[in-house]
Amino acid sequence: MRSANGLIPRPSPERPYRLEGTRPGESPHQTLFISCTETQIAPTRFVSRPEQLFELRNIGNIVPPYNPKVVSGAIATIDYALSLTNLRDVVIAGHSGCGAVAALLNQTSNRVSPSLRRWLVVGSSRVACEDAVGTRASGAIGKEALDRAAQAHLLTQLAHLAQYPELESGQNSGRLRLRALFHRAESSTTEVYSPRDDSFKPLAREGSGRRR
């Protein structure tokens, strides 16, 4: 039910909102979801309730290599999220047709600003992307090759993320689960990275209530 001004009514003290799997007064488990700011990917599609999302979005879903001495909004945001006691899942998501990856490989007709070029350097994925497309030439690259580059870029950011000490200890204790997703907007399908096979596999639906 929505109020007259279109906003969802706030919970009253008598009837507080209660999320699945939680008791009154208890916070729901949260998911740190790191993704590109582009419109092809919507993090709310990957959780049963938007309130569970702790989002970090930036152009290119870039995770800077861990360095506590560097002033970085991304590092501080990830570090803060990892300190939350009710955090259980960490997801990093890339997508097909990523403009940041296209800019990295000089495959876009859009203007690439100096600030974007410097930001892409932080992702340090140029070599991995060039290896994925099999060429370092400056010619046109096909869509499939660009998407392979986007996956290589995603895995580079996953490797950066794995360096964060709190994440490593959380995984070792079994408290945290880390996954990398690759979303294809054109087919509305999502793949999850399997470290065991070093490949992307279709993401299984975890429940009929899930939307993708």
98 is in an annotated binding site: yes
Would you say 180 and 201 are in contact if contact means Cβ atoms under 8 Å apart?
Answer: no
Q: Is 185 in the site for Zn ion (CB under 5 A)?
A: no
Residues near 6 by beta carbon (within 8 Å), at least 6 away in sequence: none
Q: Which is nearer to Zn ion, 36 or 132 (CB)?
A: 36
Torsions phi, psi for 53 (to 5 deg): -85, 130
Q: Is 98 in the site for Zn ion (CB under 5 A)?
A: yes
Q: Shortest Cβ distance from residue 164 to Zn ion (Å)?
A: 22
Q: Is 161 in the site for Zn ion (CB under 5 A)?
A: no
Could you say which residues in the range 13-42 bind Zn ion, by CB under 5 A? 36, 38
Q: Which is nearer to Zn ion, 75 or 150 (CB)?
A: 150
Q: Is 180 in the site for Zn ion (CB under 5 A)?
A: no
Q: Shortest Cβ distance from residue 194 to Zn ion (Å)?
A: 22
Residues near 157 by beta carbon (within 8 Å), at least 6 away in sequence: 34, 61, 62, 63, 92, 94, 123, 125
Would you say 100 and 122 are in contact if contact means Cβ atoms under 8 Å apart?
Answer: no
- What 3-state class would DSSP assign to 125? coil
Which residue ranges make up the site for Zn ion (CB under 5 A)? 36, 38, 98, 100
